Amino acid sequence: MRIGTRGSTLALAQSSHVRVRLPGGPDDHHLEVIETSGDRNPMASLRRFGGKGIFTKEIEEALLLGRIDMAVHSLKDLPTDMTPGLRIGALLAREDPRDAVVARDKTPLAQLKRGARVGTSSLRRKAQLLARQPELSVLDLRGNVPTRIARVEEGRFEAVVVAAAGLLRLRLIDRATEILDDAFMLPAPGQGILAVQIREDDAAAAAAVAPLHDPSAAAEAAAERSLLAALGGGCLVPIGARARVGNGRITLAGFVGHPSGRPALRRSAEGRSDQAEAVGRELAEAFLHEGARAILDSARGDEVFP
């Protein structure tokens, strides 16, 4: 099987994670590196440069054209409206979905001084950071995970916030100063989950990836992405979500906020795990009733990074 992937160190680690789990072993499959729009503009602000699919469009095109047999994505990068002709063949067991902090001198976020520079390219992270610590200076920072860590070591930032899953997959988790719990910061919908995308009519690829599918990850993803879709959001909007499955039930916590830190909304919903999408829609309706649409519209229209 030909596996499409981005060329970053993290993307290759994720695709290799899938490759070794496919039937026949890694020698029967190979990675095809495909450059995406987001990769061609590594330092440009995602908000000013991008739209949905900036890390997936070119890979999906290669899949539709038959140049690859499957594609591996971070689910949080994959738009909620699937490209016609393609589908998700498997969602792998979820890695730690939380966000992590890498700080100079291992200083906890709560002890950072007024005006301390914290780097992230995520409006979701910025909104939640400033909702808790409005005295911070949260600045736009792109680049791969090792590059972001290097910016702290160089003294350009006092701290950066990245996905714990990325640190784990790159074996850099020992660099984390702290892992942020849900009470502080909710992750992006689908964070920590790898998605294997295939063509709708490819029975061979479907059979190959089926054993990789994790039902619990799928239910959590369904709830989180349903919330995101119902709010009209994408990977560039300040929406956080964390679902948990257990004993036939699913709980979903959500966040909607302006990247300035105010206003900020938090709510939760619960239901049967086999009705995960309905739980997501229910939570979205509650957010919309509280004014989430105006918050998100304002976030899209403002220049929210210096």
- Residues that are catalytic: 77
Angle between helices 145-153 and 9-19 (to 10 degrees): 140
Residues 6+ apart with CB under 8 A from 255: 124, 127, 128, 186, 238, 239, 240, 241, 264, 265, 266
Return the HEC string of 56-101: CHHHHHHHHCCCCCEEEEEHHHCCCCCCCCEEEEEECCCCCCCEEE
Cα gap 197→15, rounded to integer Å: 12
- Give one word for 273, left, alpha or beta, with left for phi > 0 and alpha for psi -120 to 50: alpha
DSSP string, 250-276: EEEEEEEE-TTS-SEEEEEEEEEGGGH
Is there a contact between 14 and 170 (Cβ–Cβ < 8 Å)?
A: no
Beta-ladder partners of 137: 117
The dihedrals phi and psi of 211, each to the nearest 5 degrees, come to -65, -15
Cα gap 164→2, rounded to integer Å: 28
Beta-ladder partners of 2: 30
CA-based Rg of the chain, rounded to a whole angstrom? Answer: 19
Is there a contact between 104 and 175 (Cβ–Cβ < 8 Å)?
A: no
